[in-house]
Structure 1
Amino acid sequence: MQRFGTLSFGHYGPLGRGRELTAGDSMRQAIDLAQGMDDLGVNGAYFRVHHFARQQASPLPLLAAIAATTKRIEVGTGVIDMRYENPLHLAEEAAAVDLISDGRLALGVSRGSPETVVRGYEAFGYTGSTDPRGADIAREHFDLFLRAIDGEGLAERDPASPFGGGTGRQRIEPHSPGLRSRVWWGAGNRDSAAWAGTMGVNLMSSTLLTEDRGVPFDVLQAEQIDAFRQAWREAGHPGDPRVSVSRSIFPITTAEDELYFGHSSEGEGVGYIDGIRSTFGKTYAASPDVLVEQLQQDAAIASADTLMLTIPSQLGVEFNLRVIESFATHVAPSLGWKPTTAAATTTDDAP
C-alpha cells in the first residue's frame, strides 16, 4: 500500500436532537478536514457523488477549493456518474481543477451507483438509452470526455470570428496535459475492470462488487484487479496503472471509538443491487494491532497501491481527523505506507 486517503459520502441533513448539518457545513468541513490531512501527509481526499440526494452532487467546485488551500494531497471523486454529465463541460472543469492542483486530480468516473430516483439522468436531459441502467449513455459520454481531454479538435473554427477564429477544429479549453493519466474508472465486476484496462485508465474498486463467484470478497476483488492489469498489458499501454480499493476501517483507541464502532465489525455478505446478485465487503473495527493482522491478510489491499477509507463525515472534522491520524500512526506503516512529504510530491504519479 503506497497511498491512503479518505472516501467521503458527504452526507448532510438532520443529525437528531434538533441539530442539522447543512450542505454548506458539509463542504466547509470537507475543506477543513482535507487541510488537516494534508498536514499529516495523508495522500488523498475523495468524494462519493450522488444526485437527488443529500450528498455531494457537483464535486468539482469543492475539489478546486481543497486544491487551492492544500499543497500535496490528491483530490478526487469515487465516482462521478457519467450518465448525468455533459462530457465537454466535465472536460473543461476537470482540466481547470487539474491545473489549479498542479496535477493532483484523481477523477473517478463510471456508470454510477444505485440511485434514490428512477432513471434520474433522464431529468438531466439524457434520454434514449436502450439499457435499463443507462450503461450505454455512460460509455458514450465517457468516450467523448476522453477525446476532449486528449485535446482532440471537436468544433469547427469560425474564420469570420472577431475573436481569432482561423480554420480547422478547436479543442476545448482549458487543456491540462497528462490529465488522462489521472482518470479512473469505477468497476463493479471483472468485465468492467478489464474494459478499463483496455481503455488505458486507472481502476477504482469499492466495497461492493456486482458479481458473486462463491469466494471471499477480497479474493474476488483481487481477481478483478488481475483482470484489469492483464487487459492493460494486452492493450499495450505503457507504464503501470494505479489501482485503489475502499474499505470501512476504524481503529478503536478510545472509549468514544468503542461507543461508535465497537459493534460495527461485520462480515461480508451477498445481496441484490439493481437486480444483480452482488458481494459486499466487511467492516473492520478493532484495536490497531488486530487491524494490522486482519488487513495484512486482505488480498485486494495487498494488490492495490491506494486504499480509501470511508469516513463518517457527519461526525465532524475533529473526530474524523483523530481517526485518520490513528490509522496513519498505528496501522498504515505496517501495510507499507509512508507519509507524503513536499520533496516526494510530483505532479505525474500516474502511468
Structure 2
Amino acid sequence: MERFGTLSFGRYGPLGAGRQLTAGDSMLQAIDLAQGMDELGVNGSYFRVHHFARQQSSPMPLLAAIAAKTERIEVGTGVIDMRYENPLYLAEEAASVDLLSGGRLALGVSRGSPETVVRGYEAFGYTASDDPRGADIAREHFELFLRAIDGEGLAERDTSSPFGGGTGMQRIEPHSPGLRSRVWWGAGNRDTAEWAGRAGVNLMSSTLLTSADGRPFDILQAEQIDAFRAAWRDTGHTGNPRVSVSRSIIPITTAEEAMYFGGRQDGDQIGVIDGMRSTFGKTYAAEPDVLVEQLRDDAALQSADTLMITIPSQLGVEFNLRIVESFARYVAPALGWAPTTSGA
C-alpha cells in the first residue's frame, strides 16, 4: 500500500436533536479535513458523486477549493457519473482543476451507482439511451471526454473570428498535459475492469462486486485487479497503472470510537443491486494491532497501491481527523505506507 486517503459521501441533512448539517457546512468541513490530512502527509481526499441526493453532486468547485488550501494531497472523485456529464465541459473543468492543483487531480468516473430517482440523467437532457441503466450513454460520453483531454481537435476554427485566425480543428482549452494518466474508471465487475485496462486508464475497484460465488470479497476483487492488469499489458500499454480499493476501516483507540463502532465488525454481505446478486465488502473496526493483521490478509488491498477509507461524514472534522491520524500512525506504516513530504 503506497498511498491512502479518505472517500467521503459528503452527506448533509438532519443530525438529530434539532441539529442540521447544511450543504455549505458539508463542503467547508471537507476543506478543513483535507487541510488536516495534508499536514499529516495523507495522500488523497476523494468524494462520491450523487445527483438528486443530499451529497456531493458538483465536485469540481470543492476540489479546486481544497487544492488551493493544500500543498500535497491528491484531490479526486470516486466516482463522477458519466451519464450526467457533458464530456467537453467536464474536460475543461478537469483540466482547470488539474492545472490549479499542479497535477494533483485523481478523476474517477464510471456509469455511476444506482440512483435515488428514475433515469435522472434524462432530466439533464441525455435521453438517447437504449440501455435501461444508461451504460451506453456513459461509455459514449467517456470516449469523447478522453479525446478531449488528449488534445484532439473537436471543432473547426472560424477563419473570420476576431479572437484568432488560422485554420484546422481546435482542441478544448485549457489543456493539461498528463491528465489522461490521472483518470480512473470505477469498476464493479471483471468485465468493466478489463475494459478499463484496454482503455488505458487507472482502476478504482468498487466497494462491491456484481459477483457472488461464495468466495470472500477480497479474493473476488483481487482477481478483478489481476484481470485489469492483464488487459492493460495485452493491449500494449506501457507503465504501471494505479489501482485503488475502498474499505470501511475504523481504528478503535478511544471510548467514543468504541461506543460508535465497537462490535460493528462483520463479514462480507450478499445482496442484490441493479438486479444482480452482489458481494459487499466487510467493515473493519478494531484496535490498531488487530487491524494490521486483518488488512495484511486482505488480498485485494495487498494487490492495490491506493487505499480509500470511507469515513462517517456526519461525525465532523475532529472525529474523522482522529480516525485518519490513528490509521496513519498505528496501522498504515505496517502495511508499507510512508507519509507524503513533497509532491502529490
Counterpart position of 1:156: 156
Alignment map for 1:222-241 (pairs within 5 Å): 222-241=222-241
Q: Distance in 2 between matches of 1:115 and 1:11?
A: 15
Corresponding letter in the other structure for 2:189: N
Q: Distance in 1 between matches of 2:56 and 2:44?
A: 17
Counterpart position of 2:316: 316
Q: Distance in 2 between matches of 1:165 and 1:263?
A: 68
CA RMSD of aligned residues (A): 0.6
Corresponding letter in the other structure for 1:281: G
Q: Distance in 2 between matches of 1:61 and 1:263?
A: 38
Q: Distance in 2 between matches of 1:212 and 1:148?
A: 37
Q: Residue deviations 1:36-66, cap 9 Å, x none?
A: 0000000000000000000000001000000
Structure 1 unaligned spans of 5+: 347-351
Q: Distance in 1 between matches of 2:179 and 2:251?
A: 35
Deviation at 1:206, TM superposition (A): 2.2
Counterpart position of 2:331: 331
Q: Distance in 1 between matches of 2:6 and 2:62?
A: 15
Q: Residue deviations 1:177-200, cap 9 Å, x none?
A: 000000000000000000000000
Deviation at 1:263, TM superposition (A): 2.5
Percentage identity across paired residues of the two chains: 82
1:127 partner SS? coil
Corresponding letter in the other structure for 2:55: Q
- TM-score normalised by length of structure 2: 0.99
Counterpart position of 1:178: 178
Contact persistence 1:206–1:247 (CA under 8 A)? no
Alignment map for 1:69-108 (pairs within 5 Å): 69-108=69-108
Please tell me whether residue 40 in structure 1 is matched to residue 43 in structure 2.
Answer: no
Please tell me whether residue 124 in structure 1 is matched to residue 98 in structure 2.
Answer: no
Deviation at 1:277, TM superposition (A): 1.1
- TM-score normalised by length of structure 1: 0.97
Alignment map for 1:201-216 (pairs within 5 Å): 201-216=201-216
Counterpart position of 1:242: 242
Deviation at 1:81, TM superposition (A): 0.2
2:166 partner SS? coil
Contact persistence 1:288–1:330 (CA under 8 A)? yes
Deviation at 1:214, TM superposition (A): 2.3
Counterpart position of 1:349: none
Counterpart position of 1:284: 284
Please tell me whether residue 298 in structure 1 is matched to residue 298 in structure 2.
Answer: yes
Misfit runs of 4+, over 4 Å = none
Corresponding letter in the other structure for 2:253: T
Deviation at 1:248, TM superposition (A): 0.1
Q: Residue deviations 1:260-311, cap 9 Å, x none?
A: 1012211101110011111100000000010001000000000000000000
Counterpart position of 2:145: 145
**What is the total number of aligned residue pairs between the two structures?**
344
Counterpart position of 2:12: 12
Corresponding letter in the other structure for 1:106: A
Structure 2 unaligned spans of 5+: none
Q: Distance in 1 between matches of 2:309 and 2:54?
A: 20
